[in-house]
Structure 1
Amino acid sequence: MRILHTSDWHIGRTFHGSSTLDALRVVLAALVDQVRENNVDVVIVAGDVFDSAMPAADCYSVLSDTLVALRDAGAQVIVTSGNHDSAARLGFQSKLLRDGIFIVTDPRSIGTPITISDEFGPVHFYGIPFLEPALVRHVWNDVPLRSQRDTLTHAMTRVRNDMQSRAGRSVAIAHCFAAGVDPTPQLERDIQQGGLDVVPLEVFADVDYAALGHIHGRQRLSEHVRYAGAPLHYNFGEGSKPRGGWLVDLDADGLSTVSTFELPVPRALVTLTASLEELLDPELFPEATDAWVFARYTDIAPQPDPMRRLQARFPHCAKVAHTPSVVHEDHAASFGARVRAVRNDAELFEAFLTHVRNGVGADEAESQIIRELVAERSLAEIAG
């Protein structure tokens, strides 16, 4: 049996204010092509199908059209819910779809597999929807569930109990943050800020393959535990990571081979670091003209209206940051200390500009304006 493992479609997500639906349609069409070209039997979508609990109407059509296209290409499809999904809304889709498309959102179904057979016999797919401890305690009120580690451990215990009563191979599908070691307090705290804590790798022992979602970069945690990654780049930090997933082959004995498949990148992500003058030079950075651009300009002082100016050079400039090449060392204890040392209003203006512009004070033209403003204020006070 050949399985295509994907995850984290995040249908409806925006990229710095721009819709990604059209780009995602292109990539998901390529995913359907991968199913045809590689004779895939089963497609797994391991959570975060939508980007929000209340997706727009267009998002539903993207999902439904893709699932039907995957089925028409010859694959059965198994979808589980992730932490971005509304289990109820995603589960509603399952009643509208044809045979061979399965959407798993109910925690009560954990331990009851979707069984699909090949020439070697049955393969049992155990879908595990995202399990928020506070929301599933009532389902298993006799089990202490305080963390993702607790909920996934309990879920996989139910899976193993069921496996003991069945012959055949097994695949677990989950959406979580998995690690190969016990979580450290600092790491666990960081992950919990995003709603997930660390699940030790051994939780997924005993199954032939564990198809995970949540991490947006394709990763191999062990031979049989892997993340597929997201089909699109959703932030500049992912820009260097390829898009795609895993093709997983099961033979009569279990896991046989795992290989990668690639997906197209509709628009490349590029991070440019240079002075604003260099970034605006039409002769430089030709490769970024049609890319999503994160521009980091290195001028000592902040420059006026950099986004508008950069978008005239790079139409898809999405993010700008001032990252000065030299950071002024301010030896004063604070801006307040600097202000207390000034002798007049003109020096106050100068101190403020120097503070907010990385040590760059007023130039001659600015100094002239400051002197005129201070003089006008003085005359107004005298007249008053």
Structure 2
Amino acid sequence: MRVLHTADFHAGRSLRGFDRTPEVHEALTEIAALARTERADAVLVAGDLFDTANPSADAEHAVFDFFLRLRDAGIPSVVIAGNHDSAARLQSVTGLLGWVGVQVVAQPSANAAEMVRTVQTKAGETLVVGALPHLSERRLVKAADLMGGDTGTWRQKYREGMGFFLRRLGEGFRPGAVNMLMAHATMDGAVPSGSERTLQFDLTNAYTLSGLQLPPGAQYVALGHVHKPQQVGESPVAAYSGSVIQLDFGESGEKKSVNLVEVEPGRPARLHPIALASGRELRTVRVDLDQVEARLAREQGFTGLMKVVVRAPAGTALPGLKDRVLRLAPGTLAVDLDAQQEDLATPDLRREGLSLLDLYERYHRERRGELPADLRAAFQQADEWARQEEG
């Protein structure tokens, strides 16, 4: 049996105001074509189809066009919701997607049968997928009395909650079938892309799964959530397929891929990453102020998107710097001053002592530009409500 594993589309992603959805659509078209040419019996999508809970029409078109292409090729798929997806929104279209061969598990359930999906291949083989959508770390932890507990206690409570679901999913595996697990979570030892070294990842990286918790009957574990493609387990084979394009400058230089898994009942899976060609390359260029022209002249043939970080003495006034850079490199999305802006490669150097609101402002600046005053006020109010609720 040949199963194609992908994840983290993030359709609808905007980078510094630049819409990446057309590139995501291009990547999904490429993946659908690979599923056909590689003779995939099924496709697994391990969450984060969309970048926001309320995606644009273009983002929905990109994702649903992907599933229609799989339908036209006669390839069934199983999909779970990620932390960026609206589980309720995906749940509302499960019936419609089912008509085109897409089985969606949008929300966790204590009834394991509702999270186990079976696919019958054209060759008559059976694929069983234990599908675990994203489980909010906050909700799992809050289920126990953690007031006064330390971080180690929180982490253990999270693992216990996840362990319950993983054990129940393992009970749904069948002898004589190919049995796989799919989850949107962070595994111990996973290496994040620079893009996850932002607000969300730093606040949740205490909540991880151990490879020892994976159901022993799983022949392959298809993971989503971490954007860097990597294998994180040997027995069973567990891997992240990663995001389908370089989503932001923290992922500069990463080669994106999907995972082709060859497997037969009762035997270990064989993993074959397949490189993707879609998506514009992202590049960060750091340059001293007096070398801007000379350095950017070397980027004349670059067709991707750039962030230019200009090193200048503290307090230097630089009127017209952005226009100057854009004339030399029209593909530049951001022009930042050296020590004053967030460096995704070494974020911890400037995080100590910052409030949650400060971190959010940095996050928003990197993703979408300066934080509007009304959104800042709304975030501050939501943070206050959350603190009151926890109290």
The TM-score with structure 2 as length reference comes to 0.73
The within-5 A match list for 1:157-172 is 157-163=167-173, 167-172=176-181
Write the letter of the residue equivalent to 1:116: V
Deviation at 1:71, TM superposition (A): 2.0
Q: Which has the larger radius of gyration?
A: 1
Q: Which moved more, 1:166-175 or 1:280-289?
A: 280-289
- Could you tell me which residue of structure 2 aligns to residue 329 of structure 1? none
Q: Which has the higher contact order (CA 8 A, sep 6+)?
A: 2
Change in 2 beyond 3 A, CA 1:62/1:110: farther
Question: Are residues 311 and 74 of structure 1, via their aligned partners in 2, closer, same or farther at CA, if it must alter by over 3 Å?
Answer: same
Amino acid at match of 1:202: L
Equivalent position of 2:119 in the other structure: 116
Tell me, in whole angstroms, the C-alpha distance in 2 between the residues paired with 1:176 and 1:147.
15
- CA offset digits 1:293-325 (Å, max 9, x no partner): 11122333543332222112111212223237x
1:103: which partner in 2? 104
Change (3 A) 1:255 1:75: farther
The question of whether the paired residues in 1 share the 8 Å contact of 2:47 and 2:81 is answered with yes
- Does the 8 Å CA contact 1:290/1:314 hold for their aligned counterparts? no
Matched, 1:321 2:336: yes
CA distance in 1 between partners of 2:202 and 2:17 (Å): 26
Cα distance between partner residues in 1 of 2:202 and 2:329: 37
Q: Which residue of structure 2 lines up, in the alignment, with residue 209 of structure 1?
A: 220
Is 1:71 matched up with 2:71? yes
Q: Secondary structure at the match of 2:209?
A: strand
SS of structure 1 residue aligned to 2:263: strand
Q: Aligned equivalents of 2:189 and 2:302: distance in 1?
A: 41
Letter in 1 for 2:64: S
Answer yes or no: is 1:270 the counterpart of 2:271. no
Unaligned stretches of 5+ residues in structure 1: 182-186, 325-384
- After alignment, is 165-174 or 192-201 more displaced? 192-201
Shift of 1:147: 4.8
- The match for 1:361 is none
Partner of 1:241: 254
Give the 5 Å matches for 1:74-93: 74-93=74-93
Q: CA deviation at 1:203?
A: 1.6
Q: Corresponding residue for 1:178? A: 187
Q: Stretches of 4+ moved more than 6 A in 1?
A: 136-140
When the two chains are superposed, the root-mean-square deviation of aligned CA atoms in Å is 3.0
Distance in 2 separating the partners of 1:156 and 1:131: 12
- Aligned with 2:262: secondary structure? strand
Q: CA deviation at 1:281?
A: 3.8
5+ residue gaps, structure 2, are: 145-153, 191-196, 340-391
Residues in 1 aligned to 2:137 and 2:72: alpha-carbon distance in whole angstroms: 37
1:368 is matched with which residue?
Answer: none
Give the distance between the partners of 1:277 and 1:33, measured in 2 at CA: 47
Please say which of residues 277-286 and 37-46 is displaced more in the overlay: 277-286
Relative to structure 1, is the Cα distance of residues 137 and 191 closer, same or farther in structure 2, using a 3 angstrom cutoff?
closer
Partner amino acid, structure 2, of 1:63 = V
TM superposition shift of 1:265: 3.7
Q: Cα deviation per residue 1:128-173 (whole Å; 9 max; x = unaligned)?
A: 1111255579999xxx99854233211111012223x654231111
Residues 80, 32 of structure 1: CA spacing in aligned structure 2 closer, same or farther, 3 A cutoff?
Answer: same
Q: 1:305 to 1:265 in 2, by over 3 A?
A: farther
Q: SS at 2:239's partner residue?
A: strand
Change in Cα spacing, 1:136 to 1:199, as seen in structure 2 (3 Å) is closer
CA distance in 1, matches of 2:19, 2:296: 30
In 2, Cα distance between equivalents of 1:280 and 1:34: 42
SS of residue in 1 equivalent to 2:62: helix
Aligned to 2:131: 127
Inter-partner Cα distance in structure 1 for 2:68 and 2:311? 49
Q: Distance in 2 between matches of 1:26 and 1:61?
A: 12
- Quick one: distance in 1 between partners of 2:119 and 2:82? 23
Q: What is the CA distance between 1:276 and its match in structure 2?
A: 3.3
**Number of aligned pairs?**
314
Tell me: CA distance 1:95–1:215, structure 2 relative to 1, closer, same or farther (3 Å). same
Query: Match for 2:118: what amino acid?
Result: T
Instruction: For residues 215-237 of structure 1, give each alpha carbon's deviation from its aligned partner in whole angstroms, at most 9, with x where no partner exists.
Output: 01101102311001000111112
Query: CA offsets per residue over residues 178-227 of structure 1, 9 Å max, x none?
Result: 1159xxxxx9x985614871111212241111100000110110231100
Determine whether 1:225 maps to 2:238. Answer: yes
Name the CA distance, whole Å, in 2 between partners of 1:176 and 1:216. 11
Q: TM-score, with normalisation over the residues of structure 1?
A: 0.74
Native 8 Å contact 2:130 2:170 kept in 1 = no
Counterparts of 1:1-384 in structure 2, within 5 Å, are 1-97=1-97, 98-108=99-109, 110-111=112-113, 112-118=115-121, 119=123, 121-133=125-137, 135=139, 147-163=157-173, 167-180=176-189, 191=201, 193-194=203-204, 197-206=207-216, 207-223=218-234, 224-281=237-294, 284-286=297-299, 289-300=302-313, 302=316, 303-323=318-338
Alignment check: 8 A CA contact 2:36 2:73 kept:
yes
Instruction: Letter of the 2:263 partner, please give it.
Output: L
Change (3 A) 1:167 1:92: same
Percent of aligned pairs with the same amino acid? 25
CA shift for structure 1 position 242? 0.5
User: Structure 1 residues 121 and 282 mapped into 2: Cα distance closer, same or farther (>3 Å)?
Assistant: closer
- The corresponding residue for 1:376 is none
